[in-house]
Amino acid sequence: MSNSFGAAFRVTTFGESHGGGLGVIVDGCPAGHPFPFARVAAQLTRRRPGQSKLTSPRQEADELRVLSGLEPGTDLTLGTPIAMVFANSDARSNHYDDLAELYRPSHADYTYDARYGVRAVAGGGRSSARETVARVAAGALAEDLLATLHGVEIVAWVAEVADVVAPLPDLATLDRAQVDTSPVRCPDPAAAQAMIAAIDDARREGDTVGGVIRCIARKVPAGWGAPVFDKLTAGLAQAMMSLPASRGFEIGDGFAATRLRGSQHNDPFAVHPDRAQIFTTTNHSGGIQGGISNGETLRFAVAFKPVATLFRPQHTVTRDLQPVIFQPRGRHDPCVLPRAVPMVEAMAALVLCDHMLLARLARVADLVPRPPTDDAT
Amino acid sequence: MSNSFGAAFRVTTFGESHGGGLGVIVDGCPAGHPFPFARVAAQLTRRRPGQSKLTSPRQEADELRVLSGLEPGTDLTLGTPIAMVFANSDARSNHYDDLAELYRPSHADYTYDARYGVRAVAGGGRSSARETVARVAAGALAEDLLATLHGVEIVAWVAEVADVVAPLPDLATLDRAQVDTSPVRCPDPAAAQAMIAAIDDARREGDTVGGVIRCIARKVPAGWGAPVFDKLTAGLAQAMMSLPASRGFEIGDGFAATRLRGSQHNDPFAVHPDRAQIFTTTNHSGGIQGGISNGETLRFAVAFKPVATLFRPQHTVTRDLQPVIFQPRGRHDPCVLPRAVPMVEAMAALVLCDHMLLARLARVADLVPRPPTDDAT
Amino acid sequence: MSNSFGAAFRVTTFGESHGGGLGVIVDGCPAGHPFPFARVAAQLTRRRPGQSKLTSPRQEADELRVLSGLEPGTDLTLGTPIAMVFANSDARSNHYDDLAELYRPSHADYTYDARYGVRAVAGGGRSSARETVARVAAGALAEDLLATLHGVEIVAWVAEVADVVAPLPDLATLDRAQVDTSPVRCPDPAAAQAMIAAIDDARREGDTVGGVIRCIARKVPAGWGAPVFDKLTAGLAQAMMSLPASRGFEIGDGFAATRLRGSQHNDPFAVHPDRAQIFTTTNHSGGIQGGISNGETLRFAVAFKPVATLFRPQHTVTRDLQPVIFQPRGRHDPCVLPRAVPMVEAMAALVLCDHMLLARLARVADLVPRPPTDDAT
Amino acid sequence: MSNSFGAAFRVTTFGESHGGGLGVIVDGCPAGHPFPFARVAAQLTRRRPGQSKLTSPRQEADELRVLSGLEPGTDLTLGTPIAMVFANSDARSNHYDDLAELYRPSHADYTYDARYGVRAVAGGGRSSARETVARVAAGALAEDLLATLHGVEIVAWVAEVADVVAPLPDLATLDRAQVDTSPVRCPDPAAAQAMIAAIDDARREGDTVGGVIRCIARKVPAGWGAPVFDKLTAGLAQAMMSLPASRGFEIGDGFAATRLRGSQHNDPFAVHPDRAQIFTTTNHSGGIQGGISNGETLRFAVAFKPVATLFRPQHTVTRDLQPVIFQPRGRHDPCVLPRAVPMVEAMAALVLCDHMLLARLARVADLVPRPPTDDAT
């Protein structure tokens, strides 16, 4: 508990990294939407390991099977649960046999044992980043709804790797094609080169690096979110901090905001002269005020720690409390950041899609029955 | 939706800053616990405005009334919902009359209107920090359960104000008495003086400052948390980012972890020679690995923006889309940090208490019936 | 857990029969609705004891205080939680002192002790029917939304008391005024007389009676409900079986349907010639098929057991496992049915209001943004 | 929404009757329990169609694949979500082609269209009783936990078919073997013969029959349940009324209780002389008082309507509102009762398992940490 996320657009994921497979059930997807196979496939491809020397050589086809929730023939969503399942095709679990008895440092081996008294040893089990396949698939469906209904555009990118900090791109025009011009998914060519060098350096030394992903969501209307525990900020924070290896979350100016005076940080309101609409002349708030979107571009950042699996000997202990030296083998990413880009986008989409639906219930005036829609009986 | 938080120890808050009152319902508090009136009162006092010149002069008695859930005479919890209600005694809502028609920059006025089409004007309504009275009261109950059952100790302090950064205190011994030696709630005397100066400077200029609160929880056993969406990290992040004015969250080394190599960041496991127990020789992870506590001290930080209410003129617009100059009056904190210390502690306690309960359901071996307890029939 | 009910229109109740008070938080009420004080008061009056010799002489003012969620002046709902609180004004808890140590037969004394190891002795604590004040208040708000947005009409009545069975009224025209013509809330005058006689007979003998309440909801549109666990039938069943003293639930023909052949029970579809709309020529299904409303009148029944508190000596045991003879005193209803009528209506309204909201999220076509409503910014 | 059920032991089902498959995710199953493959298979076999001439000739292997949540080798539960998936192997969906445009009377065709504007035509889609495969599998896991931890025994049987009413069996000794001696799952041989005759009569006339299933749960300890909306009664009612074709629910004496005086219906408490334990000398309450179990045998009944699919012509309309005569083909049960027996048991197990877990959190005294269990680290 709990492997579910969301109130109105609710996903439930399952699966270990090695075993029969993993997947996700989406409950609450509105009916009549063409299932976005292409968008899901595109995001799964971006998440997949083995795309470049920067990431794990593990090859997973990640072949999506949608077991339910679509009308055969039209692939329209039925309003019933959409089950998406992925087989675990390339598992070499013998790589992990010697891990059964020791606790890898800064992995979840020990904490899972402490909690459950039993754990899936191969590949990290439920704690494997492979679990995010399910999130990325569900998130792509969510963002398709967001794009269709409101034109929402979600774009994440690698903003920092180790001590390489990329300059801020043009947030009004940044798109995924620009992000994907580099295998490290940083849209700034010079920074991307430096990041690749930093990753290569670490790999050569059997070490790993971390970094920061930034993400924006454009065209989120004003009024999504909630006042207290379900602030949009709180939901995004939970979503991002539920990703493997995430260590920090910031909205808008984030920690840097603590160094500003209120007079510097406040975002003055103004009115678009041509279209009678309120906007803010700055966006230190990152598009959210009081937990509710204000119509400006959402902007947040997520910190990812360096990957815990090193190809260097490390001190640790066994389940029997014996000290040992651990020397990992297997297939691992020296840097999780490039592959985490679609994960961040997916989790942002899940949060926003949920709030898009909930926002439809906020006002009595919006609940006055409408004439039946065309596809109604 | 949703004004509730927690799965097993579930709080639901209500109330605007001005009106009949506000409060919280705690559902899921185990039966037979003496209600900790003293602890609740102590934390409410720490949250209360008007304690020093650093904070708002608004005087609120914050007098707690427990309407339900306690057995008269013994004040033992009954297992039924505990309703805690606070009257709004010192509301001078005429201060806010002129706010009905304009949107204060970086407040929730505009976003509430965008969402609901109507809002409580006086005092910010539901977006007021006064809502946190309810959280602090419920959190004090939660931490009393944590302390009673596991000896958990939660201590937060002001670590940064504006550009003043306090040195890290001794996390093994830090307590609330040390924190409260300074009105700014920074346990380092020199830093506390500098913070007070920074706040005073800002106030004199009609301006405001932000800062960072750090928090630890000692004696959290290994095994609390969950693998995916309810990672302890994710729950803490949601909790903290649901606090008014919070802008960022970090666990362990947080954003600084992104600059470390894996070999620097990993926490090696070792064994206490005398008591056959695993520990980590460093704690970059902040006590959580894979979303589950590892028995080390939990450690996280929360960024708070500078208070949005300035005593300086600001550009904004009215509901009718007319530009105006806004010059606030009323009673406000120039710096929210000192009062936010008990809020952070309260939200941490709510997250931990919920996970303490859920952890009792994690293993079949722990669910084997026990002989009846003494107080049973 | 759990004292909450509903997904989108979510109520959380609290309070014991004796103590500081009881109440309900409504989370998810859409903004901009005038709070229906008159409707709430009317239903509270119908629920109140002491209205006639048929019911308990306990006098409770049931004075409603709305602490939050309304804009002062307009009483428009704000979209934030609406807290409704009632004081416990007429509690004579000394009546219950001798109950502390014995278990009243077929009350919740023993089971509460078995669960919690502690209980509120006075007046039954949380198990008292007084808890339903909160439900009736919240239900009246829910039915006001249903009536405003869809013209839904909910009417319950006493259909049976002991072995008196009233003939079925005209379901197309039955209203609450007709129901209230008799203090027993049976719209058939002859049956009402017989019911009153049955109740008086029981009372004279220090005994009690049960009965059946039937309820209809007219003008529920087709399409409310859900396919599986949240079938409208399932929600109504949970709601009704959560009422004190309820023992059975039926939808449509209910248990009598088990004696019919499929060819007798099926409801043929037909088309209104004048308004191109589908209807069923019979309504054995009670307005729900596959868990979703079909546009016909909803129709269900709830069985209530005879009141457990008798004014006759009964065998029971004490907490110390000593056999005793229990002779109740205090103030109690010989028949709960008349007062349960507004409780049934309230719970039906809570279920339907929740599904009314959820139904707005069922189709993509209904989620296409609309032009801003008049009261929007 | 919502295809999930349960708070602590939470199941989420998915799947249409024809398509890629269906299944269930169990979230919250405690770790370290051997997955009960035999028990699951046994209950699936009892649910399966094609077992006798009484039921549908459709052949489904119902082959269970557990994709996640078990440790390979030991088949111990991991504490992570258990995904159970079933393929749809014997679907002849062309049987349903002509159903795309008409609404079968008393099926969910029309209501699904009214809600979603689209529906899975083949086999009834999500409304098919095939969805209960998932419930039966999850329920068998739940009852295995209940049996292991508390020795709980759940037995359901067919008590009535059409107007045949079986005498009440000995509730203290009834077991599933006795129930299964007859294909109609009525343990009374004479009544079973009469039921079979009634079903055969109906079938010969192209008609269908309904009936009543009764269910008991022995050895449920006192103290499971909750006071208000999550009364054990309410949970069982929701669970049972969520089953396809169910029309009514009774606890204990149910509707018959309404004809009794309180002095007849109350269950006097007494004490077992030899083992200092409270019991009731009668059990009109059906083992639940105030929503919480009292240690007596749980006892309830569920009414099932006659199957809606008849092999007789019926009046109905098309999606285009044209009247038509509908003459079904395909494979259907003339009586759903025998196969519904394991469904009722499964839903009872899900409710009880959830409350078994929640009951562990009811008292502070039960939450005092225990020494580590043997399988702990």
Q: What is each CA distance from C257 to B12, C145, C254, D160, in whole angstroms?
A: 42, 33, 5, 12
C-alpha torsion sign, points C364, C368, C373, C376? positive
The Cα C147–Cα D203 span in angstroms is 45
> Is B186 within 8 Å of B267 (Cβ atoms)?
no
Confidence (pLDDT) at A49: 79
The Cα A232–Cα A221 span in angstroms is 13
Low pLDDT (below 70) residues in chain C: 1, 50-61, 89-99, 123, 330-332, 371-377
What are residue B278's DSSP bridge partners? Answer: B271
How far D72 CA sits from the closest chain A CA (Å)?
8
Confidence (pLDDT) at A376: 40
The Cα D340–Cα D63 span in angstroms is 19
Cis preceding linkage at C17, omega within 30:
no
Q: How does DSSP assign A96-141, residue by residue?
A: GGGGTTB--TTSSHHHHHHHHS----GGGGGGSGGGHHHHHHHHHH
What three-state secondary structure class fits C239?
A: helix
Query: Side chain identity at C312, as an amino acid letter?
Result: R
What three-state secondary structure class fits C363?
A: strand
Chains B, C: CB pairs < 8 Å: 186
Written as six digits, the tokens of B75 are 């004040």
Q: Angle C337-359/C132-150 helices, nearest 10 degrees?
A: 50
Average pLDDT over residues D48-60: 63
What three-state secondary structure class fits B209?
A: coil
Confidence (pLDDT) at D377: 39
B367 and chain D: CB distance < 8 Å anywhere? yes
D367 and chain B: CB distance < 8 Å anywhere? yes
Nearest to C27 among B12, B80, B319 (CB): B12
Average pLDDT over residues B184-197: 98
Query: Side chain identity at D1, as an amino acid letter?
Result: M
Q: What does the DSSP 8-state code read for residue B243?
A: S
D65 and chain B: CB distance < 8 Å anywhere? no
Confidence (pLDDT) at C376: 39
D277 and chain B: CB distance < 8 Å anywhere? no
> Is D295 within 8 Å of D312 (Cβ atoms)?
no
For residue A369, pLDDT over 60 is answered with: yes
Cβ contacts (< 8 Å) between A12 and chain D: which residues? 4, 12, 25, 27, 81
How far D51 CA sits from the closest chain A CA (Å)?
27
For residue A55, pLDDT over 90 is answered with: no
> Is A136 within 8 Å of A43 (Cβ atoms)?
yes
Written as six digits, the tokens of A175 are 């798109």
H or E element in which residue D314 lies: strand D314-317
Confidence (pLDDT) at C343: 98
Buried/exposed code over D109-148 (b: 16+ C-beta within 10 A; e: otherwise): bbbbbbbbbbbbbbbbbbbbbbbbbbbbbbbbbbbbbbbe
Best CA proximity match to B370, nearest among C138, D221, A49:
D221
Best CA proximity match to C19, nearest among C128, C174, C165:
C128
How far B73 CA sits from the closest chain A CA (Å)?
34
Inter-chain touch D278–C111, beta carbons under 8 Å = no
D300 and chain C: CB distance < 8 Å anywhere? no
Neighbours of chain B (3+ CB pairs under 8 A): A, C, D
For residue B221, pLDDT over 50 is answered with: yes
Share of chain D above pLDDT 70, in %: 91
Q: What does the DSSP 8-state code read for residue D291?
A: T
What are residue A132's DSSP bridge partners? Answer: none
Q: Residues with Cβ < 8 Å from C201, sequence gap 6 or more?
A: none
> Is A227 within 8 Å of B126 (Cβ atoms)?
yes
Q: What is each CA distance from B227 to B133, B201, D28, in whole angstroms?
A: 31, 46, 12
The Cα A251–Cα A256 span in angstroms is 10
Which sequence spans correspond to the domains of chain D? Answer: 4-252+287-367
What three-state secondary structure class fits B335?
A: coil
Best CA proximity match to D109, nearest among C218, C280, C152, A75:
C280
The Cα C361–Cα A7 span in angstroms is 12
What three-state secondary structure class fits B232?
A: helix
Tens-digit pLDDT profile for residues B235-257: 999 999 999 999 999 999 999 99
Confidence (pLDDT) at C59: 55
C344 and chain B: CB distance < 8 Å anywhere? no
Cβ contacts (< 8 Å) between A79 and chain C: which residues? 362-363
Q: Angle B37-47/B337-359 helices, nearest 10 degrees?
A: 140
CATH number of B4-252+287-367: 3.60.150.10
Neighbours of chain C (3+ CB pairs under 8 A): A, B, D
CA terminus-to-terminus distance, chain C: 40
Confidence of residue D375 (pLDDT cuts 50, 70, 90): very low
Average pLDDT over residues B338-352: 98
Confidence of residue D325 (pLDDT cuts 50, 70, 90): very high
Average pLDDT over residues D358-363: 97
D124 and chain A: CB distance < 8 Å anywhere? no
Predicted ipTM?
0.95
Confidence (pLDDT) at B17: 86
What are residue C214's DSSP bridge partners? Answer: C157, C301
Nearest to B19 among C16, C67, C319 (CB): C67
Nearest to A116 among D23, D78, D81 (CB): D78
Q: Within a 10 A sphere around the Cβ of D203, how many other Cβ atoms?
A: 17
Task: Name the residue of chain D whose CA is nearest to C294's CA.
Answer: D111
Tens-digit pLDDT profile for residues D75-128: 999 999 999 999 986 555 555 566 678 999 999 999 999 999 987 777 678 888
How far D202 CA sits from the closest chain C CA (Å)?
8
Chain C interface mutation, best of B3, B10, B68, highest count of C Cβ atoms under 10 Å: B68
Confidence of residue D317 (pLDDT cuts 50, 70, 90): very high
Q: Residues with Cβ < 8 Å from A306, sequence gap 6 or more?
A: A202, A207, A208, A209, A210, A335, B257, B258, B260, B261, B262, B264, B265
> Is B269 within 8 Å of B283 (Cβ atoms)?
no
> Is C227 within 8 Å of C293 (Cβ atoms)?
no
Q: Within a 10 A sphere around the Cβ of B219, how many other Cβ atoms?
A: 14
Neighbours of chain A (3+ CB pairs under 8 A): B, C, D
Q: Within a 10 A sphere around the Cβ of A275, how many other Cβ atoms?
A: 7
H or E element in which residue A303 lies: strand A298-304
CA D262 distance to own-chain centroid: 31
What three-state secondary structure class fits C73?
A: coil
Inter-chain touch C31–A221, beta carbons under 8 Å = no
Complete edge-to-edge strand list for the sheet that includes strand B64-66? B4-5, B10-14, B22-27, B82-86, B64-66
The Cα B245–Cα B236 span in angstroms is 16
The Cα A223–Cα C375 span in angstroms is 14
Higher-confidence position of D55 and D113: D113
CB burial class (10 A; 0-12, 13-18, 19+) of residue B267?
buried
Return the minimum-mean-pLDDT range out of A115-129, B160-174, D51-65: D51-65
Best CA proximity match to A220, nearest among B304, B113, B1, C369:
C369
> Is B64 within 8 Å of B137 (Cβ atoms)?
yes
Nearest to A237 among B13, B237, B267 (CB): B237
Residues 302-341 on A with a CB inside 8 Å of D are 319
Confidence of residue D376 (pLDDT cuts 50, 70, 90): very low
Written as six digits, the tokens of B195 are 């913070």
Alpha helices in D174-301 (DSSP H): 176-179, 189-204, 232-241, 262-265
Q: How does DSSP assign B283-333, residue by residue?
A: -TTTTEETTEE-SSPEEEEEEEPPPS--SS-EEEEBTTS-EEEE---S---
Confidence (pLDDT) at C125: 86
Inter-chain touch C13–B81, beta carbons under 8 Å = yes
Strand A277-280 and strand C246-251: pairing? unpaired
